[in-house]
Structure 1
């Protein structure tokens, strides 16, 4: 007789143990990539929605930019005859104003997404609006961008020291001064600086971006002229902008000082400066980094009043001129750039915050 083999017990594997394939299985094994993809998809939806709202908002503004262009041509003796229906129709088609508002929207989004074309600029016809914006963009980044970075750095450092040394006379002076000046308008400070340093003392120029007698280029004379002419508007922005960062950093620093991990670090014999920079400040700058990233987007709008006061050729001046002449393409171009920069900054911060602070996790 042949002995029969004992029956083999079959154990049902749980569904979780069964190997799965496909995109969803890969995403479940890579939670960081899944979060990045979800966040990027949300970013695209937000960008599309914001650009759409901006388009319809400005298209519904009262006024006819074509009539504005015809009047401008007549005033410059370029066009003296009565504008015919064919000429008006041509301009309407060229500026994307023919058809109903929905067809205008589809044409605008097609040119913007596929070709990066904003259409011609009314304030500098027939130059494309993107070229007009790109000519003003370096001046705005150079003035407002550098000023924003300096004000943020000064505010973080001074605010952290003021919070760390709370109760001291120096901290009280800095805090009260920041409270008094944080909400003073930039242009008001700019007026005071112009009166003192330009008209009274005559040390610095009051208007323009550089000396008109110097040819623009990468030369020491031109760079020195740009720095000299940009000192007063930059100082007005840095001086007031830093006050707000000082207050917010101090507000975040003071509650952290009573935490147990700081007491433990002090008991270990760590130096106060190391405790401030490596422990206390590290837990305070996270909200400041987020706020700074969002504020960078507003650089592209330009500080309109400051640029107008100093006759600075930045995006603020370009935007004001475009609004006065109903240049929808240039207005939308500046607005779209601001929208794109703000949303992109928020996206990058959401992806970088877990690297800055290991406690931040957006995935399981």
Structure 2
């Protein structure tokens, strides 16, 4: 007897060998795009959650903005008591205060997302809240934004040099000054600057954003007036911000000075300045870029006391006025801009860091 050979089973591998198709296959072939899509989706969820928390937080605060408006009308003798019920109902509808809290939330988010409407502003009724905010926004960006950029540049450069030349007299003095002054409040430095340069020396103005005798416009006179009036508040922010960045940059610089790649670069005969800028600084500025991007988001609601001290017409002054008069729409508008700026800055940094540093591979 002869053993029969087992039957040969043929398997059609045409389907298995075919490349996968569909959205998942495309995302697997493009990991960076997949990471960007996932990160953007998370950004939208975070933005929605933060806006929702802000809405309920401010709506649960005690006080009634409509009653505040009615009292203002009574003080100006333009209020008719006979039409009080109708007037209150109309104002509650305009300010989005009619219905329960959930109905108010749905109406507010619908207007905000679909139409960009934040509702009327109580401090400048019936002007929309977004109009009031947009009037103050350029002043805040011009003052705090430019000041934050200058403070970051000065702080990173000086901090890197102080860390590179650790143990030297200049580095020691700079580090001790930074430790002593980094946590001093901005408004305290602003008070000192006002006393010295405005009241004692009389060199710079102490209040306002520009000379009221000059008509606003893109003219050399107006631009010069804006720069002159904004010098003291900007200087108070730059001085303290610079010392803070000096400390953090020096802290990042010192631990990497003994790394092998720096020793090798020095053994090759490279100049110290080249080693500092091309090797040492490149490995410590990435955390500073991340921190700077996050700090930019807080310029919209930070340094409120500085704007109040100099009577600067920025978002800080607008926010304080809105809180005093229970202007919920304006308060929410300023808060939402701050939330949006912070989350957007973090999103952009997450997308840009892999391009700045090839070692960063979030999508793997």
Band the TM-score falls in, shorter-chain normalisation: over 0.9
Higher deviation after alignment, 265-274 or 87-96? 265-274
Displacement after TM superposition at 1:12 (Å): 6.8
Does residue 163 of structure 2 align to residue 163 of structure 1? yes
TM-score of the superposition, structure 1-length normalised?
A: 0.96
Displacement after TM superposition at 1:11 (Å): 6.5
Query: Match for residue 31 of structure 1?
Result: 31
Query: Match for residue 109 of structure 1?
Result: 109
Q: For each residue in 1:88-129, what CA deviation from the matched residue of structure 2 results, as whole angstroms up to 9, or x when unmatched? A: 000000000000000000000000000000000000000000
Query: Equivalent residue of 1:210, what SS?
Result: coil
Query: Equivalent residue of 1:312, what SS?
Result: coil
Q: How far apart are the structure 2 equivalents of 1:17 and 1:335?
A: 54
Does residue 185 of structure 2 align to residue 185 of structure 1? yes
Q: How far apart are the structure 1 equivalents of 2:221 and 2:202?
A: 20
Displacement after TM superposition at 1:18 (Å): 3.7
Do the aligned partners of residues 18 and 69 (structure 1) sit closer, same or farther apart at CA in structure 2, a change above 3 Å counting? Answer: same
Query: Equivalent residue of 1:110, what SS?
Result: helix
Q: How far apart are the structure 2 equivalents of 1:72 and 1:230?
A: 33
Displacement after TM superposition at 1:80 (Å): 4.9
Query: Equivalent residue of 1:358, what SS?
Result: coil
Equivalent residues in 2 for 1:300-339 (5 A)? 300-339=300-339
Query: Match for residue 152 of structure 2?
Result: 152
Query: Match for residue 282 of structure 1?
Result: 282
Q: For each residue in 1:212-253, what CA deviation from the matched residue of structure 2 results, as whole angstroms up to 9, or x when unmatched? A: 000000000000000000000000000001111000000000
Query: Match for residue 237 of structure 1?
Result: 237
Query: Match for residue 4 of structure 2?
Result: none
Query: Equivalent residue of 1:97, what SS?
Result: coil
Equivalent residues in 2 for 1:13-52 (5 A)? 17-52=17-52
Does residue 271 of structure 2 align to residue 271 of structure 1? yes
Q: How far apart are the structure 1 equivalents of 2:271 and 2:157?
A: 18
Displacement after TM superposition at 1:363 (Å): 1.6
Q: How far apart are the structure 2 equivalents of 1:264 and 1:17?
A: 49
Mapped contact 1:70–1:83 kept (Cα < 8 A) = no
Do the aligned partners of residues 17 and 256 (structure 1) sit closer, same or farther apart at CA in structure 2, a change above 3 Å counting? Answer: farther
- Gap regions ≥5 residues in structure 1: 1-6
Query: Match for residue 3 of structure 2?
Result: none
Mapped contact 1:163–1:250 kept (Cα < 8 A) = yes
The size of the alignment, in residue pairs, is 358
Mapped contact 1:152–1:242 kept (Cα < 8 A) = yes
Mapped contact 1:302–1:314 kept (Cα < 8 A) = no
Mapped contact 1:140–1:302 kept (Cα < 8 A) = no
Displacement after TM superposition at 1:303 (Å): 1.4
Q: How far apart are the structure 2 equivalents of 1:98 and 1:219?
A: 47
Equivalent residues in 2 for 1:54-73 (5 A)? 54-73=54-73
Q: How far apart are the structure 1 equivalents of 2:118 and 2:325?
A: 17
Query: Match for residue 173 of structure 2?
Result: 173
Do the aligned partners of residues 342 and 196 (structure 1) sit closer, same or farther apart at CA in structure 2, a change above 3 Å counting? Answer: same
Query: Equivalent residue of 2:81, what SS?
Result: coil
Mapped contact 1:302–1:315 kept (Cα < 8 A) = no
Displacement after TM superposition at 1:9 (Å): 8.5
Q: How far apart are the structure 1 equivalents of 2:143 and 2:80?
A: 41
Query: Match for residue 124 of structure 1?
Result: 124
Q: For each residue in 1:9-33, what CA deviation from the matched residue of structure 2 results, as whole angstroms up to 9, or x when unmatched? A: 8567599854111000100111000
Displacement after TM superposition at 1:60 (Å): 0.1
Equivalent residues in 2 for 1:69-80 (5 A)? 69-80=69-80
Q: How far apart are the structure 1 equivalents of 2:195 and 2:51?
A: 41
Does residue 57 of structure 2 align to residue 88 of structure 1? no
TM-score of the superposition, structure 2-length normalised?
A: 0.96
Displacement after TM superposition at 1:81 (Å): 3.4
Query: Equivalent residue of 1:195, what SS?
Result: helix
Q: How far apart are the structure 1 equivalents of 2:185 and 2:82?
A: 47
